[in-house]
Amino acid sequence: MKKLITTSLFSLITIYTFAQIVINRNDFGSIGDRLFYAIDSSLTDQLTPKKTGTNITWDMSTSLKSNYYDTTDFVDPSTDPDAPEEANLVIIEGGEPTYVFIDNAGVKVIFPLPEFIGGNTAIINLTKFPLAYGGVALKDSFITKLQGTPADFGQESLPFDSLRISIKVKTESEVDGWGTLILPNSSQDALRVKNTTSTTLKFEGKLPFIGTWINIPLGDANAGNQTVIAWYGKGKNYALVQAELDTLGNVASIRYQVPFTYPNGLAENSNNNSLKISVTPNPASENTFIQFESISNSVGSVYVYDITGKAVYTKDITTTVGKNSISIPVDSLQNGLYFTTITLGNYKASVKLLVQQ
């Protein structure tokens, strides 16, 4: 059910007048895009995100921190065996996929329902492009209800003769501001979108011979409420900033776009001149191993770069013909995203590495 919360930030609103800027389909990401984000999880309430209205200046240039880094990847759903057939784009953040259908008319979020409640998919229908300031809030919802025997849900061990399940998701979104967004590395016109999602999952069983329905606790599966504030700009592919609020309405964490280019012009998992590499384990906490095959005895170098392109580790290596495995210590690195690059003569390649202590 956590995916429901992640996907809710897409619940957008269509207004055609009174807009400072207008966001269309071409301002959102497409297959093959990769965006880099810094994550501020310092749990401090920041006042600037709360400003709403017209011609607002949201100055976050000095208040934002970067505790760690992550990417947002726009992936072809044909490469994901779990993707629903209705999806034409997968958006991956923090390793979690969000399945969407997006075209010039608007956006839909699509996600598989668990097998024990019937499988298939659930869809949140979103409003049409363009996205602009003004108007009333958008409200959207869906409800799924199922009832059957424990065997129907693959729960034969439960002491009930009948089970019933209901899932209800309600979203409310509003473009409540436009103005200038100032980040540590950029300044641009932006729209502010506030989204609140309420998710309820109810699971009940009826006792034999008694006929009484008993609530079955689901723990974290009952996701509750979540509010996300996001800022969007022209030609930025996705949210410039996403701020998640806690239950008191204070900012719990902020995710904001940062510029990044791969060291030496390499692309992740690039196999220039057929050099193929991998890192294991990944994520890593103490040591990881870069693994590759060499066609000759050779000398080269291994580099680890942080998200800013700074080399945080280098090592000269000597390889032998065939499979090679080079140990890289990461226990002194902060949590976050890094890029491991290897050079062997004319051969170069790079791969993403996640450090989690």
Q: Which residues of the chain have pLDDT under 70?
A: 1-19, 43-49, 67-68, 94, 112-120, 125-128, 135, 218-223, 260-275, 295-296, 308, 345-347
The pLDDT tens digits for 246-263 are 777 788 888 898 876 544
Contacts of 182 (CB under 8 A, 6+ apart): 57, 58, 59, 60, 61
Q: Which amino acid is at 60?
A: M
Q: Which position has the token pair 């999602």?
A: 197
Angle at 43 between CA 1 and CA 2, to 5 degrees: 5
Structural domains in the chain, sorted by start: 2-258 (no CATH), 263-355 (2.60.40.3080)
Quick one: pLDDT at residue 116?
Answer: 54
Selection from 243, 333, 253 nearest residue 42 by Cα: 253
pLDDT > 90 fraction of the chain, expressed in percent and rounded: 13
Selection from 84, 72, 88 nearest residue 111 by Cα: 84
Judge contact between 297 and 321, C-beta under 8 A.
yes
The pLDDT tens digits for 147-196 are 888 888 777 888 888 988 888 888 888 889 999 999 888 899 999 988 88
Quick one: pLDDT at residue 265?
Answer: 42
Quick one: pLDDT at residue 352?
Answer: 82
The model's pTM: 0.69
Q: Distance between CA atoms of 7 and 40, rounded to whole angstroms? A: 20
